Amino acid sequence: MKKIKYFIDKLKKEKSVVGILLFKGKMPIVKKNYCDQIIEIFIDHTHHKNWINHNFVSCIFSIDNRFKDVIRVFDFEGEKEEIWESDKLWRRINGHVVYQKDVNLKKLIEEKQKKFEKKLSGILIRTFYDIEWYVSLSRIWIERGDLHSAYHMTNIAVDNLIKGLFLLNKKLYPPREYWIPFIKELDWVPINFMDKLNQKLYTQDMNREIIFSKGKIIYELYKQYLKKIQQNLHKYARPLRFFNLFWLYLLLFIYFNKEIKIIQIKKIGMIHYLTAIPLLLLINTKKKHEDIYISIDNNKMENIAMMGDPRLPRSVEQELSHLWKKLKYKEVKTELELYFQNISVLKLPLI
């Protein structure tokens, strides 16, 4: 610790240094004397290149059985524009600003946290989507005869499974190196999660049967996630498949606003739903000045609700038919409350 203090005191005298954040990551569960220490140095934009040219971007200056001390250098102006992923935000929220000069590093961290929380529902949706997507891709690669690619796809699905677990617990997911110890600290974890993770999902064996089995276990755990979400729905809400829930939410969000700027949909992290069915079949777009507006085409919606569409799964057709009747008889506001206002775990913005 004396070495860290001496180093920080020396950094404070550098004119180009505008902020210093110290992260002391004591691990839960494991022995208390284990601690990672990370110093993040924020440099004035005009001097940042000088630090890079001296290869002072990221280095480990001490490592033994108990400590790993890491230095990282950032351009402060660049960090203001950068999108902070959950792991970076987690580290900075849990860190301590030990120095700031002519900038407000604490305020920047708070602002980034608020922005992340606004997008939380969209991030969770994307994470859940990726779980299904990469398991499906693994099966495609098996059929193509490329087991290495199939195995890699299941590994990505596992990563998203872990990220989704933190988000479901309303927690930021930490950097990968801290996943396992902090999973043990979560309030809710699927039954036998750690056993399945260690014994089945992190296996190094690679053959067709093992990869299929791995995908099956991922889906079993994923179904527990969906059940957890369903428990947060109002008891009178009709059960929905997870993805039906979110395209339906976005459809109603646009419908009740008559028309909405596409930038507003980006802000809630759901823009990718506009490029996929069923919404792709239901929306109209038009440009006003420099903005693009989205609206729901009632005629298209009625036709699909009444006649169906071969491009849509049966479950989606049923939801559209059910929804159209509610909209037609102006009953949907009550159902809207049942569907969405009780999904506290997702922190969805209310319509």
- Tell me the per-residue pLDDT of 203-220, one tens digit each, with 9 for 90 and over: 777 888 889 899 899 988
- Poorest-pLDDT segment among 6-10, 53-57, 84-88, 269-273: 53-57
Beta bridge partner(s), residue 39: 22, 71
> Can you give the pLDDT at residue 55?
43
Q: How many residues are present in the chain? A: 351
Backbone angles phi, psi at 24, to 5 degrees: -115, 100
> Can you give the pLDDT at residue 342?
41
Q: Per-residue pLDDT for 57 more than 50?
A: no
Query: What single string gives the DSSP state of each residue in 13-75?
Result: T-TTEEEEEEEEEEPSSS-TT-EEEEEEEEE-GGGHHHHHHTT-SEEEEEESSSEEEEEEEEE
**Is residue 317 a contact partner of residue 309, using CB atoms and an 8 Å limit?**
yes
Q: Per-residue pLDDT for 338 more than 50?
A: no
- Poorest-pLDDT segment among 148-152, 212-216, 230-234, 266-270: 230-234
64 band by pLDDT with thresholds 50, 70 and 90: very low
**Is residue 99 a contact partner of residue 8, using CB atoms and an 8 Å limit?**
yes
**Which residues neighbour 333 within 8 Å (Cβ) at sequence distance 6 or greater?**
none
Chain-centre distance for alpha carbon 242: 16
**Is residue 83 a contact partner of residue 51, using CB atoms and an 8 Å limit?**
no
> Can you give the pLDDT at residue 98?
92
> Can you give the pLDDT at residue 104?
93
47 band by pLDDT with thresholds 50, 70 and 90: low
345 band by pLDDT with thresholds 50, 70 and 90: very low
- Compute CA distances 259 → 71, 119, 262, 263, 280, whole Å: 49, 21, 9, 12, 15
130 band by pLDDT with thresholds 50, 70 and 90: confident
Selected residue with higher pLDDT from 137 and 271: 137
For residue 349, is the peptide bond before it cis, meaning its omega torsion is within 30 degrees of 0? no
Give mean pLDDT, residues 17-30: 73
> Can you give the pLDDT at residue 1?
61
| pLDDT tens per residue, range 314-325 | 777 877 887 787
86 band by pLDDT with thresholds 50, 70 and 90: very high
Q: CA-to-CA distance for 279 and 247, rounded, in angstroms?
A: 7
**Beta-strand relationship, 35-43 and 67-75:** parallel
CA atoms within 13 A on the CB side of 305: 18
**Is residue 340 a contact partner of residue 249, using CB atoms and an 8 Å limit?**
yes
pTM for the complete prediction?
0.66
Q: Per-residue pLDDT for 59 more than 50?
A: no
Q: Per-residue pLDDT for 148 more than 90?
A: yes
Going by C-alpha positions, the residue among 217, 18, 233, 218 that lies closest to residue 104 is 18
Going by C-alpha positions, the residue among 44, 42, 36 that lies closest to residue 60 is 36
CA atoms within 13 A on the CB side of 94: 20
Q: Per-residue pLDDT for 280 more than 50?
A: yes
Chain-centre distance for alpha carbon 85: 8
Beta bridge partner(s), residue 43: 17, 75
Chain-centre distance for alpha carbon 217: 21
Q: What share of the chain in percent tops pLDDT 70?
A: 76
Chain-centre distance for alpha carbon 13: 38
Which amino acid, 99? Answer: Y
Q: Per-residue pLDDT for 182 more than 80?
A: yes
Give mean pLDDT, residues 267-280: 78
Q: CA-to-CA distance for 238 and 332, rounded, in angstroms?
A: 13
> Can you give the pLDDT at residue 165?
94
> Can you give the pLDDT at residue 328?
77
Structural domains in the chain, sorted by start: 2-116 (3.30.460.10), 120-231 (1.20.120), 242-343 (1.10.10)
State the Rg of the chain over Cα. Answer: 24
**Which residues neighbour 35 within 8 Å (Cβ) at sequence distance 6 or greater?**
24, 25, 26, 27, 66, 67
83 band by pLDDT with thresholds 50, 70 and 90: confident
Reported in sequence order, the residue ranges of 244-282 that DSSP labels E, i.e. its strands, are: 259-261
Q: Per-residue pLDDT for 335 more than 50?
A: no
